[in-house]
Chain A
Amino acid sequence: MNVTVDVNGQERSADVEPRLLLVDFIRDHLRLTGTHIGCDTSSCGACTVLLDGEPVKSCTMLAVQAGGHELTTVEGLARGAELDPVQVGFHEEHGLQCGFCTPGMLLVSAALLERNPQPSEADIRWAISGNICRCTGYVNIVKAVQHAAGLRAARAAAPTEQVTAGAPGGAE
């Protein structure tokens, strides 16, 4: 059956089996491989995407259920060359190591900051408690989100300034 989804601001359509999982639709049909699969019991959050702005596990949804909704994957966070504050925060605070959980963490963090622009450590740990990381021990992820909160606050205070502190790709 046909499913039409707004993916990162673009309308995408495909003919799919009802049983096709949303994560497989994203990875295999849309060729957006930033969303990852880490388990088979909906336990790890590596597959997290934003559905109408709220983080959900794309492995625990059918593609057909996403029809008519807005989907944001990690590929939709940056605006061209300009990284989202959460991406800058994770880079500045070493909030990623192997990178496999990172797309999910970024999206959950971005959604959190939309709702709670100045989250406490407990707020952050609560918000990401559905996303497993094996590498970082979460400490720097908390710092990354706090860093991003600061960037967003600065941007809100001075909207004409482009905030691109420490774009990754080179040594400092």
Chain B
Amino acid sequence: MVPAAFDYRSPTSLAEALDLLREHGDEAKVVAGGQSLVPLLKLRFASPSLLVDIGRVPSLSGVTADGEWLRIGARTRHVDVERDESLDRLCPILREAAAQVSDPLVRNRGTLGGSLCHADPAGDWGAVMLALDARLVARSAAGERVIRAADFFQGPFTTALQPDEVLTEVRVPVAGRGQHASGVYLKLERKVGDFATVGVAVHVRLEGDRVATAGIGLAAVGPTNLPAGEAARALEGRQPTEEVIAEAARLAAGAAEPHDDLRGSADYKRDVVRVFVQRGLRRALAQAGPEGGQA
């Protein structure tokens, strides 16, 4: 199948891109790597009249550590995150998740921001950003606003972004003094390149021997990426014993809203959430340990 016809603009500045969206927002689609959009265009599931390619807009990609925040340009490719060894210390869940997105060819084109904006309920990055309590920076011709991950995903393939907005940056909070943090992304997939059957992102920040903050994000078990908020809160302020971990895992499974489909029954997926939260927490806690990472 081939796409229906559309107009195409490739602005060379963010201002130009935002002007185009202000004028054509409703009938336009933003494209960066195109790994989610082009397949939809080919199947004619999307038929925008205008494509605004932000591939030539400067300064939208790259990862920088900025004191309290890790700032990831929205147009950073999955592979660039996968290859960035500095992230092992700063935020290992990012590299672990990046490596599991789709397949190596897609990772060479697709972007972290593009994936978040596409908001597939099975998307890996959404689960990770929910677990990290990330902030998503949206720009329009009118200005900039910062959206918390928990407020970003509103429905299947639907985000809080307005038609005239572009996601420019994702900000991940970095652990403070005296804290050790780490995270894990576990993905059950039928094969490389398939969407997750179940994706679980867990992130913990320790102070001493207690969990200071925790975040759990789920993929493919709901109408959007879901936070398992109650499960995360059940960890906070407590020593993470096996019982505490098991309880959090049960609560996370309860927060999931999976459907029966070819990948498995709802019961199956819920149980994998539980198993993965347990396994993920054990590893994240071990990684975070006394010599653990910053985020």
A residues with a Cβ closer than 8 A to B are: 1, 17-19, 21, 24, 40-43, 45, 48, 51, 54-57, 59-62, 64-65, 67, 108, 126-131
Mask, B2-28, CB within 8 Å of A = 1, is: 111111101000000000000000000
Docked-complex contact B39 and A55, CB < 8 angstroms: no
CB neighbours of A129 from chain B (8 A): 103-104, 192-193
B residues with a Cβ closer than 8 A to A are: 1-8, 10, 34-35, 38-39, 41-43, 51, 53, 55, 79, 102-106, 108-109, 192-193
CB neighbours of A126 from chain B (8 A): 104
- B5, B34, B35: the one contacting A62 at CB < 8 Å is B34
CB neighbours of B192 from chain A (8 A): 129-130
In angstroms, Cα B42 to Cα A104, docked, is 21
Docked-complex contact A40 and B105, CB < 8 angstroms: no
B226 to chain A, nearest CB (A): 26
Docked-complex contact A65 and B105, CB < 8 angstroms: no
Docked-complex contact B38 and A62, CB < 8 angstroms: yes
The answer to whether residues A18 and B6 also contact, given A43-B193, A60-B39, A65-B55 and a CB cut-off of 8 A, is yes
Docked-complex contact B104 and A55, CB < 8 angstroms: yes
Docked-complex contact B106 and A18, CB < 8 angstroms: no
The answer to whether residues A40 and B42 also contact, given A19-B6, A129-B192, A130-B193 and a CB cut-off of 8 A, is yes
Instruction: List 22 A–B pairs whose Cβ atoms lie within 8 Å, in order of A's numbering.
Output: A19-B2, A19-B41, A21-B38, A40-B1, A40-B43, A56-B105, A56-B108, A57-B105, A59-B42, A60-B106, A61-B109, A62-B51, A65-B55, A126-B104, A128-B104, A129-B104, A129-B193, A130-B102, A130-B104, A130-B105, A130-B192, A131-B105
A145 to chain B, nearest CB (A): 14
The 10 closest A-B CB pairs, nearest first, are A130-B103, A18-B8, A130-B105, A19-B3, A129-B192, A54-B108, A60-B38, A130-B104, A42-B39, A57-B105
A115 to chain B, nearest CB (A): 9
Docked-complex contact A65 and B53, CB < 8 angstroms: yes
CB neighbours of A59 from chain B (8 A): 42
In angstroms, Cα B153 to Cα A15, docked, is 40
Docked-complex contact B34 and A60, CB < 8 angstroms: yes
Docked-complex contact A64 and B43, CB < 8 angstroms: no
CB neighbours of B4 from chain A (8 A): 19
CB neighbours of B2 from chain A (8 A): 19, 21, 24
CB neighbours of A51 from chain B (8 A): 108-109
Other than the known A55-B108, A129-B193, what 8 A-B pairs have Cβ atoms closer than 8 Å?
A: A17-B5, A18-B8, A48-B105, A57-B109, A64-B53, A67-B10, A127-B104, A130-B103
The answer to whether residues A18 and B38 also contact, given A40-B43, A129-B103, A129-B193 and a CB cut-off of 8 A, is no
In angstroms, Cα B5 to Cα A1, docked, is 13
CB neighbours of A130 from chain B (8 A): 102-106, 192-193
Among A41, A42, A126, A129, the most chain B Cβ lie within 10 Å of the Cβ of A42
Among B6, B102, B105, B192, the most chain A Cβ lie within 10 Å of the Cβ of B105
In angstroms, Cα B1 to Cα A62, docked, is 14
In angstroms, Cα B53 to Cα A41, docked, is 21
CB neighbours of B103 from chain A (8 A): 45, 129-130
In angstroms, Cα B43 to Cα A21, docked, is 13
CB neighbours of B106 from chain A (8 A): 42, 57, 60, 130
B35 to chain A, nearest CB (A): 6
A121 to chain B, nearest CB (A): 16
